[in-house]
Amino acid sequence: MRVLGIETSCDETAAAVICENRGLMAHQLYSQCALHEEYGGVVPELASRDHVRKLGPLIRQVMDSARLSLATDIDAVAYTAGPGLMGALMVGSGMGRSLAWALGKPAVAVHHMEAHLLAPLLEDVAPGYPYVALLVSGGHTLLVEVRAVAHYTLLGESIDDAVGEAFDKVAQMLGLGYPGGPRIQQLALQGSPDRFVFPRPMTDRPNLDFSFSGLKTHVLNTLRGLQGVDERTRADVARAFEDAVVDTLYIKSARAVRRTGARTLVVAGGVGANRKLRRRLTGKLGAQDVDVIFPAPEYCTDNAAMVAQLGLIRLQNGASEPLQIRVRPRWSLDEI
C-alpha cells in the first residue's frame, strides 16, 4: 500500500509518499518563512493563500521524485485535519479529500500532534514504549506519554504562549527578526549568564504544564527599565531568556520521565533544534539512564512524511473518512 500525505496546518506546505514495504519514498516541503518574516509571525490569511498556490505543484514534484503516477500508484490519501489554522487546514484537507475521491481511494484525516508523536518511527532507531515526547514548536508546547499507537496521555501543555512563539516575540523585542529561535540562540552565545536572571515559570508547581507569557512580559519590562539597550545588553537578555526556557523545559521533562517511568524521551518541534536545550537534556537525563532521541531535523519540524506514516498506520487499522471534509483547528490529543 502507498499513501500520499499532505500537511498544511501552519506555514509549511508539504507532501510525501510512504510505502508499506519500502518506507518513505519521497517527501518535499516548501516553507513560507520568508513570506511571514516582515510581520514577525505567521499571518493566517497569507498562509492559506500560499498553500493554495504551492500545494498542487508540490504534490506533482513528490510524485515525480518517487517516480510514481498519482492515477495508478496511490492507494490512499492522508491529510492533516487539525489542530492548526482553520484556512490553512482547509486547503490541505480540501485537496486531500477531493483527490482521494477523484482517485476512488480512501482518505484519512490525521491529527497533527499525533503525527509528531510518532515521527521517530520514520527512522531506524524507533523508541521503545512507553516513551515521553516533548513537543516544542511555534504552535505547541506539550509533554505526552506514548504507551502505544493511539494510547496517549497528555501530561502537560502550555496554558498560554507556545515556547517557539515566546522565542519569536522576544526576538522581535530585541529587533532580531523572524524566526526568533535561531537568532536568540546565536546572540545568547555572547551574553553573560549572571547579569539577568529570569523566572522559570511554573517550575515551583508539581504539575507538568507550562506558561511562557509571563516570562515574555518579564523580558519586556526588563528592557523598558533600562537606560538604552546596547548590543551587549541585548546579548545578556537573550542569554537570560534562553537559559530560563531551557531550564524550564529540562525541569518539566525530567519530572515527566520520572513520573511515568519511561526510559526514553523524544524531543520534537522546531525548538528541539536549540543547541543548549539538546546539550542540557542529553547530559542530565542521560545520566538517569534515559535515552534522549532527537528525530532528524526534517522529521522533527512540520513535514508530510509523518502525516503519510500516520495515515498508513491508521489504514492498516481499518480507518477511512466519509466524503465530508471536516477540519478541527482545536483538537485535543485526549480525544483520539
Residue 185's binding partner out of Zn ion, ligand KG4, none, with CB under 5 to 8 Å set by partner kind:
ligand KG4
**Cα–Cα–Cα angle for 286, 291, 294, rounded to 5 degrees:** 105
Helix count and strand count (H, E) for the chain: 12, 10
Residue with cell 548590543: 231
- From CA 319, how far away is CA 100, in angstroms rounded? 14
Binder of ligand KG4 out of 179, 191, 201, 311 (CB under 6 A): 179
Q: How far is the CB of 138 from ligand KG4 (least distance, A)?
A: 3
Q: How far is the CB of 116 from ligand KG4 (least distance, A)?
A: 8
Q: How far is the CB of 79 from ligand KG4 (least distance, A)?
A: 16
- From CA 59, how far away is CA 77, in angstroms rounded? 11
**Cα–Cα–Cα angle for 252, 166, 263, rounded to 5 degrees:** 25
Binder of ligand KG4 out of 141, 264, 301, 309 (CB under 6 A): 301
Per CB under 6 A, which region of 48-56, 133-141, 190-198, 222-230 contacts ligand KG4?
Answer: 133-141
- From CA 183, how far away is CA 204, in angstroms rounded? 29
Residue with cell 531550564: 247
Residue 126 is given by DSSP the state P
Residue 274's binding partner out of ligand KG4, Zn ion, none, with CB under 5 to 8 Å set by partner kind:
ligand KG4
Q: How far is the CB of 11 from ligand KG4 (least distance, A)?
A: 6
- From CA 14, how far away is CA 19, in angstroms rounded? 17
Binder of Zn ion out of 302, 304, 313, 331 (CB under 5 A): 302
Near ligand KG4 in 222-281, by CB under 6 A: 269-271, 273-274
Q: In the chain, where do the E strands start and end?
A: 2-7, 12-19, 23-31, 76-82, 107-111, 131-136, 141-148, 151-157, 264-268, 291-293
- From CA 42, how far away is CA 266, in angstroms rounded? 26
Residue with cell 536549540: 274
Position 225, amino acid: G
Residue 180's binding partner out of Zn ion, ligand KG4, none, with CB under 5 to 8 Å set by partner kind:
ligand KG4
Near ligand KG4 in 7-36, by CB under 6 A: 10
Of 142 and 285, nearer to Zn ion (C-beta) is 142
Binder of ligand KG4 out of 30, 131, 152, 167 (CB under 6 A): 167
Binding mask 71-110 for ligand KG4 (x = CB under 6 A): ----------------------------------------
Residues that bind Zn ion (CB under 5 A): 137, 302
Residues that bind ligand KG4 (CB under 6 A): 10, 137-139, 164, 167-168, 179-182, 185, 269-271, 273-274, 301-302
